Amino acid sequence: MGRKLLTEHINVEGIETFEVYRKHGGYRSVEKAIKTMTPDEVVEEVKKSGLRGRGGAGFPTGMKWSFLAKPEGVPRYLVCNADESEPGTFKDRQLMSKLPHLLIEGMITSSYALGANTSYIYIRGELLYVLRILEKAIAEAYAAGFLGKNILGSGYDLDLFVHPGGGAYICGEETALLESLEGKRGNPRNKPPFPAVQGLYARPTVVNNVESIAAVPVIVNDGGDEYAKIGVGRSTGTKLFSACGHLNKPGIYEIELGLPVEEFIYSDEYCGGIWKGRELKAVVAGGSSVPILPKELILKTAAGENRLMTYESLSDGGFVTGTMLGSGGFIAMDETTCIVRNTWNFSRFYHHESCGQCSPCREGTGWMEKVLHRLEHGHGHMEDIDLLVSVAKQIEGNTICPLGEAAAWPVAAAVRHFRHEFEWHVTHAKEAAQPGAVYRPSGVLV
Amino acid sequence: MAKITFDGIEVEVPDGTTILNAARQIGGSIVPPAMCYYTPLKGSGGKCRACLVRVAAGSAKDPRPMPKLVASCVTPVQDGMVVENTTNPQVLDVRKGIVEMLLINHPLDCPVCDQAGECDLQNFAFEHGVSTTRYQEERRTFEKIDIGPLIQLHMTRCILCYRCVYTADQIAKGDRIHGVLGRGDAAEIGTYIENIIDNDFSGNVIDVCPVGALTDKTFRFKSRVWFTKPVNAHRDCPKCSGNVVLWYKGNDVLRTTARKDQYGEVKEWICNECRFEKKETADWTIEGPAHIDRSSVISANHYELPVLNQSVVADLPESTQRDLQQNPPLKLGN
């Protein structure tokens, strides 16, 4: 049984209230940090912990904090990115709705470390019910003196606001999020300047994911070194995975980083194997934007070792044999899944969500979607398969923000690992276009 | 000051200069193309991705290459930076891709487009594109939109460079009612509830448009640009500098535009009165012919007709000589 650092008390009745949360050790990190530590000491603990951004990029959080410019007399901001909207990723909303005070505690401790007197939680507009939960919890924290003026008599002031976004995937990109938070259209900004130098209202800003911020109280309470003992190598601590797809027990699991993928899928403690006793076909390990891997490659690395749920092991072999840990959106697909249809579906999403600012993403996402639509509906040609790869390559790395890569990687990886399935859609166009048709090596339709 | 190497050529520029502007200091054909960047417009650039370059060394302090290609128009130089543009095959390959992407929803209607001859996309495609396309799907089309009595929007030709949006935003402060609607490839330039842009400087959106999406209603279809003669002129205008280019056909002023530099950028915005209303030579003080680059198609019709020497004609067959007398295609000299 792995240790649960964030979700230990998630099933305690009433844990979403200040009173119960406090009884279970809540807000200890705020007291410890504000009363006994300097802001720099808190940053140092986070650095020692080796915590890496849980939103997808995996950048070391402590290092990100230390990049924050600190000019005299200029406000700094901490913004929590709660705009979780990647298909397959749904861990943050659970964390926020069940443990709102954990996030608020993390926000207070982190804001203290960064010297921010105003902080924001930017939440996806559709999550209105979570917004209400957070607002209620924030009001409780104000009433208890953990927010507002002169927190715990220390002289430190902090105001915390929750801001609902308009419900666009692009607003999860940190600079688009800041634009949206400023009341503008959520278009990503050109970088540099980076938010650490010029972020919200052109002031130094740190943007962190919900899960990253929720891990800060644990790190401050137990110490960075303790936290770093969990996990493998540079992948320290625990991580929430939202498992969905053809699994016996889909759900949100907090695991210690380093768990073998095979154990995660098949053990009863976690996903309990593939439903209806079917065979696993492929897995998208970190949300729909990361490259898909067939069963053989998701279970074993290129060297034939067990693939572990860590940043390094999942990306072992680059994008030829590896993928990414991403945001932890673990989508398992059984043998009845048509990869072409699935890829088209992902592609539809990215086409719909592209902001349209830069040419490769604006035009390329639509182009890929249309070609995939043709292939899926029996109007494809053999050269379309290479065309998809070529268009994906033209988008990848050439856009303002990473949405271009998010759109290109799933398509390129699907063709890389399942080219035969795309070819079958061309050579057996009529059969493939039937609803529910799936390629099988024997040629039998499901 | 920062010293950078651009395609093997060293140049020293003030700190904060962008890579593109550093390249422009060298000049010539190595300057990356720019479809959305426009020097006078704050915040422009970074969108079309036409000016992507490879940074082979970030700076003298940190000589590591940048992992991705960067937009040269928005990336500031650092001392010791090494940039590859025309010398890097990846950059040239990507540029082909960008042309292909931009031409997906831009019709090749150059023969009827008013911007033909002055179109940045035409030049970009000619220099960096390929003659074929792999795009087979349906392309988007739009009805033409009248943006007031003076400007027409052909959304079909728009490549969403945002220049007109920035122009309207920065020149017509407080009056802006047009912008980008929708997102992804459904994005379009629009005026909310089809309002007009009603500002004294709104005509400048026509000048900044790199393609033929925004056209001058007082000029449309009157002439191809290479049949007109650009002349610099000025007038005492209470609203703007009054420095313009008059485009003549015979004795008629067909069009008035702001003056542009070699990169097609307007330095001084002009007002709508100068642009749309003053169409008589008497309204202006003429300065002389405007400079047009020899390589520009606008120069194409300005050659003197060659003179055929009579002694050459005398050697021609009689039937040819008769034809020449009846239908002289060229001037006949002595």
Can you give A325-344 as a three-state secondary structure string?
CCCCEEEEEECCCCHHHHHH
The C-alpha of B312 sits at a distance from chain A's nearest C-alpha, in angstroms, of 56
Q: Tell me the chain A residues in contact with residue B49 when contact means C-beta distances shorter than 8 Å.
A: 358-360, 398-399
The class (CATH top level) of A18-229 is alpha beta
Q: Residues A363-376: pLDDT tens digits? A: 999 999 999 999 99
Give the pLDDT of residue B196. Answer: 56
Residues forming CATH 3.40.50.11540 domain(s) in chain A: 18-229
Q: What are phi and psi of A72, to 5 degrees?
A: -65, 140
User: CB pairs under 8 A, 24+ apart, for B232-236?
Assistant: B232/B259, B232/B286, B232/B287, B232/B288, B232/B289, B232/B290, B233/B284, B233/B285, B233/B286, B233/B287, B234/B284, B234/B285, B234/B287, B235/B274, B235/B278, B235/B283, B235/B284, B235/B285
Predicted model pTM: 0.89
Residues forming CATH 3.10.20.600 domain(s) in chain A: 235-334
Q: Residues B233-265: pLDDT tens digits? A: 999 999 999 999 999 998 999 999 999 998 899
Give the pLDDT of residue B103. Answer: 95
Chain B residue with the nearest C-alpha to that of A388: B134
A306 touching B (Cβ < 8 Å): no
Task: Convert A222-252 to b/e letters by CB count within 10 Å (16 or more is b).
Answer: bebebbbebbbeebbbbbbbbbbbbbbebeb
Q: Please list, in sequence order, all residues whose beta carbon lies within 8 angstroms of the beta carbon of residue A26, skipping any fewer than 6 positions away.
A: A18, A101, A102, A105
pLDDT for B331 beyond 70: no
Q: In sequence order, what are the beta bridge partners of B137?
A: none
- Run of H or E including A313: helix A311-314
CA distance A121 to A104: 9
In the block, residue with structure tokens 């000019």: A71
Please give the radius of gyration of chain B, using alpha carbons only, rounded to the nearest integer. Answer: 23
Report whether the peptide linkage leading into residue A260 is cis, meaning its omega lies within 30 degrees of zero.
no
Q: Please list, in sequence order, all residues whose beta carbon lies within 8 angstroms of the beta carbon of residue A252, skipping any fewer than 6 positions away.
A: A7, A90, A91, A94, A240, A241, A242, A243
B77 touching A (Cβ < 8 Å): no
Give the pLDDT of residue A296. Answer: 94
Q: Quick one: DSSP state of residue B247? A: E
Strands of A156-305 (E only): list them.
159-164, 205-209, 231-232, 235-236, 238-245, 251-256, 280-284, 293-294
Question: Span B164-189, mean pLDDT?
Answer: 80
- Run of H or E including B83: strand B82-84
Q: What is the ipTM of this complex?
A: 0.90
The C-alpha of A350 sits at a distance from chain B's nearest C-alpha, in angstroms, of 9
pLDDT band at residue B302 under the 50/70/90 scheme: low
Give the pLDDT of residue B195. Answer: 58
CA distance A16 to A258: 30
pLDDT for B193 beyond 60: no
The interaxial angle of helices A100-114 and A28-36, nearest 10 deg, is 10
Write the single-letter amino acid at A92.
Answer: D
The class (CATH top level) of A339-433 is mainly alpha
Question: Span B7-35, mean pLDDT?
Answer: 95
A167 touching B (Cβ < 8 Å): no
A363 touching B (Cβ < 8 Å): yes
In the block, residue with structure tokens 């099933």: A11
Q: What are phi and psi of B9, to 5 degrees?
A: -105, 130
Q: Give the nearest partner residue to A357 out of B47, B98, B105, using CB atoms.
A: B47
**To 10 degrees, the CA torsion angle through B156, B162, B165, B166?**
-160
CATH topology of domain A235-334: Ubiquitin-like (UB roll) (3.10.20)
Contact assignment for B75 to A185 by CB distance below 8 Å? no
Domains of chain B: 2-87 (3.10.20.740), 98-216 (3.30.70.20), 225-303 (no CATH)
B49 touching A (Cβ < 8 Å): yes
B48 touching A (Cβ < 8 Å): yes
Give the pLDDT of residue B107. Answer: 92
Q: Tell me the chain A residues in contact with residue B187 when contact means C-beta distances shorter than 8 Å.
A: 355-356, 362
pLDDT by 10-residue block (mean), chain A, 446 residues: 89 96 96 96 96 93 94 94 95 96 98 97 94 97 96 96 94 96 94 94 96 97 95 95 97 96 96 95 96 95 91 92 94 95 97 95 96 95 96 96 96 96 94 89 73
Neighbours of A48 (CB within 10 A): 17
Neighbours of B236 (CB within 10 A): 6
pLDDT for B89 beyond 80: yes
Give the pLDDT of residue A308. Answer: 95
pLDDT band at residue B174 under the 50/70/90 scheme: low
Give the pLDDT of residue B328. Answer: 59
Of the residues A189, A358, A359, A401, the best mutation for testing chain B's interface (the one with the most B CB atoms within 10 Å of its CB) is: A359
Q: How many CB pairs under 8 A join A and B?
A: 90
Q: Please list, in sequence order, all residues whose beta carbon lies within 8 angstroms of the beta carbon of residue A2, skipping any fewer than 6 positions away.
A: A238, A254, A255, A256, A259
B68 touching A (Cβ < 8 Å): yes
Q: Which of A203 and B165 is assigned the larger pLDDT?
A: A203
CA distance B180 to B186: 10
Give the pLDDT of residue B334. Answer: 45
Residues forming CATH 1.20.1440.230 domain(s) in chain A: 339-433
The C-alpha of B292 sits at a distance from chain A's nearest C-alpha, in angstroms, of 30
Q: What are phi and psi of A126, to 5 degrees?
A: -70, -20
A402 touching B (Cβ < 8 Å): no
Collapsing DSSP states into helix, strand and coil, what is residue A383? helix
Q: What are phi and psi of B81, to 5 degrees?
A: -70, 140
Give the pLDDT of residue B202. Answer: 87
Q: In sequence order, what are the beta bridge partners of B247?
A: B230, B255
Among A52, A65, A358, A56, CA closest to A195? A65
Write the single-letter amino acid at A375.
Answer: L
Distance of CA A348 to the CA centre of its chain: 20
**To 10 degrees, the CA torsion angle through A195, A201, A204, A208?**
-50
pLDDT band at residue B176 under the 50/70/90 scheme: low
Report whether the peptide linkage leading into residue B107 is cis, meaning its omega lies within 30 degrees of zero.
no
